[in-house]
Amino acid sequence: MARSPLLNVMTQTAMKAGRSLTRDFGEVQNLQVSMKGPADFVSNADRKAEEIVFQELSRVRPDWGFLMEERGAIEGKDSQHRWIVDPLDGTTNFLHGIPMFAVSIALERDGEIVAGVVFNPASDELYSAEKGGGAFLNDRRIRVAARQKLPEALIGAGAPFLGKGDHARFLYEMRHMMAETAGIRRMGAASLDLAYVAAGRFDGFWERGLSPWDVAAGAILIREAGGFVTGIDGAKFDHVSGEVACGNEYMHKALIAQLKIADTAYSARIPKPAPTDAA
């Protein structure tokens, strides 16, 4: 496949950061049984990968800004362009020695995501896309799955965890989707979940409580693979909104419809506040 110079820079940067993570990932099993524990080590691995991405991208486009998981927002002289970066998506997987994690890099131009790269160094899978250029896994063109029957669909989901998200709502959504589909998968790395939809491995995906760096690169992968990406209510996708629903045309509509049913059931069971006495 022919990549633009910018997409080449993004892929090379993601792979360089990924190699750093791979070296550190090899130590996780040993750290799991140490008295100190692996948490600080993983944080350092995350920061090292982010520093690699920051240095590499700053070198080629010194005036562009950043939005990064660890460093936050960094304003650039060029206000039209911004890199959106998650140097280690799937930190908990990494921490537990599970080879499902990724480096995610997206390019935002005037508020629109125009290029994205997701790299899983553990499997050596590089997903890339550029607006109008299609989506690729390594050098092979990818498309979203063609299934049109929800009972045959495998759907990805992102689950809330300790201290984060609306657990009760998710349980309603999960209970409903389990009854309507062939299966639900929770991978623990949203960028890879979205890449799996783009590659036709998942038929759809939904999650709430996300950050821009979780979804920016994955969203353009799906669109360039022929899929649809919106908010969970079907509203226009916004990578800063914190939620996503996606799939091919049929699965996307079916997923949103089923989640709406689940959300209505959930809302109906929330106790209404007692009326207040008039003054």
pLDDT in tens, 176-227: 999 999 999 999 999 999 999 999 999 999 999 999 999 999 999 999 999 9
CATH superfamily of 5-141: Fructose-1,6-Bisphosphatase, subunit A, domain 1 (3.30.540.10)
* Residues of the binding site: 69, 86, 88-89, 214
Confidence of residue 252 (pLDDT cuts 50, 70, 90): very high
75 contacts: CB under 8 Å, gap ≥ 6: 65
94 versus 247: which is more confidently predicted?
A: 247
What pLDDT score does 279 carry? 44
- CATH 3.30.540.10 residue ranges for the chain: 5-141
Provide CATH code, domain 150-268. Answer: 3.40.190.80
Confidence of residue 1 (pLDDT cuts 50, 70, 90): low
**pLDDT per residue as tens digits for the range 116-156:** 999 999 999 999 999 999 999 998 999 999 999 999 999 99
* Residues of the binding site for Mg(2+): 69, 86, 88-89, 214
Q: Which of 117-131, 159-173, 244-258 is predicted least confidently?
A: 159-173
- CB environment 209-242: b (16+ within 10 A), e (fewer): bbbbbbbbbbbbbbbbbbbbbbbbebeebebebb
Asked if pLDDT for residue 36 goes beyond 50, the answer is: no
What pLDDT score does 38 carry? 56
Average pLDDT estimate for 259-267:
93
- CATH 3.40.190.80 residue ranges for the chain: 150-268
Average pLDDT estimate for 162-168:
89
pTM (whole model) above 0.85: yes
Cα distances (Å, whole numbers) of residue 154 to 129, 134, 151, 157, 186: 23, 23, 9, 10, 11
Amino acid at 40: D
